[in-house]
Structure 1
Amino acid sequence: MNSSLLDKIGIDPAIILIILLVLVIVLFGLVFYLMANIKKRNKDIKRLLSGKTAGDMEEIILDRFAEMDAVKNNSKRLTKEHKEIQETLAACISKIGLVKYDAFEGMGGSLSFAVAFLDSRNNGVVLNCMHSREGCFAYAKELIKGESYVALSDEEKEAIERAKTLDEEIADIMEEE
């Protein structure tokens, strides 16, 4: 097999034949790979759609959208409830400070005490119970933002400070654990 064109280029026809043969083998391999891939995809699609019509698939998709809407509405409701609960909790007593002391000389056992009850905004009340031989006297003083409009004893001030720093102490304990 002599060709004037191949003779001018200087390429042996056997080399071209071998290159074409290798190319055909590679293309056949690619075709078989693609056929196997398509067969696998068809099997997956058949399994997905088995026993289902287009109407069934549409119904399934619409059901999923309805479920997503329900989840979205539920999330909004829960967010609103969470906010309401946090507002309620902010007004609940969350900090307590206690100081025991002897109100009068000669009275041992630290039977008197001052206790402060505060919410997250430091609003609340401080109770001072003074124990004596004649009885127990209790005084309550309102606190707004941790301050009282009535004069406070040293024990009451200490109880308020203990209540205010309770959050910090708990945070420190949690960090240690």
Structure 2
Amino acid sequence: MIEQYLGISTDYIVIGLAALVLIMTILLIVFIVQMHKLKKRYKIFMQGGDAKSLEDTLIYRLEQVDELIEANASNERNIDAIFKNMKDCFQKIGLVKYDAFNEMGGKLSFSLCMLNEKNSGYIINAMHSREGCYTYVKEIIDGNSIIQLAEEEEQALNQALNV
């Protein structure tokens, strides 16, 4: 009768249903194996203690997480303070050694430029002679000096400015 309505032989319907049962059986076996693996992992996880010890472990770990969050916040505050303080520290350096006088050798005189982040700071010029050492300081504001700079001082300033 089915053959008349659908035009399909009952043999094909039986083969199709058998194939469907076979596929369902294979899927059932796969799911049973997966469930067995999950149960095994669960038993290993729960082994060695009761629920109370598991709860204690979780509480301990959560406390550690809270401590790490607090330590991280403290580190961030400290880093911000360090960066704020670094703006006023000397960060750029230029040094030029030279002979101030012809009779002296060894380049014992020098010009040292020290600048902060805003290119403000000082140039220290030490001139060495036979009679002694003379030291001068010139203030630098925004990369410029109010006082005329010597050639060596200008070189030290340019080194510090990376010009």
TM range (shorter): 0.7 to 0.9
Residue 174 of structure 1 corresponds to which residue in structure 2? Answer: none
Residue 38 of structure 1 corresponds to which residue in structure 2? Answer: 35
How far the C-alpha of 1:137 sits from its partner, in A, is 1.6
* Inter-CA distance 51–103: structure 2 relative to 1 (3 Å threshold): closer
Map 1:11-160; keep pairs closer than 5 Å.
11-104=8-101, 106-109=102-105, 110-160=107-157
Structure 2 distance, partners of 1:128, 1:27, is 91
How far the C-alpha of 1:50 sits from its partner, in A, is 1.6
Residue 171 of structure 1 corresponds to which residue in structure 2? Answer: none
Q: Structure 1: any 5+ residue segments left out of the alignment?
A: 169-177
Q: Does the 8 A contact of 2:104 with 2:129 survive in 1? A: no
* Inter-CA distance 42–103: structure 2 relative to 1 (3 Å threshold): same
Name the amino acid aligned to 2:120. Answer: N
How far the C-alpha of 1:7 sits from its partner, in A, is 4.9
Instruction: Name the stretch that deviates more: 33-42 or 113-122.
Output: 113-122
Q: Does the 8 A contact of 2:3 with 2:10 survive in 1? A: no
RMSD over aligned Cα, in angstroms? 2.5
* Inter-CA distance 144–23: structure 2 relative to 1 (3 Å threshold): same
Q: Structure 2: any 5+ residue segments left out of the alignment?
A: none
Partner-residue secondary structure (3-state), 2:136: strand
How far the C-alpha of 1:133 sits from its partner, in A, is 4.1
Residue 8 of structure 1 corresponds to which residue in structure 2? Answer: 4
Sequence identity, in percent? 34
How far the C-alpha of 1:134 sits from its partner, in A, is 3.4
Deviations 1:131-161 (A, max 9, x none): 3343322112233333334333232222111
* Inter-CA distance 26–149: structure 2 relative to 1 (3 Å threshold): same
Aligned length: 161
Q: TM-score, normalised by structure 2?
A: 0.79
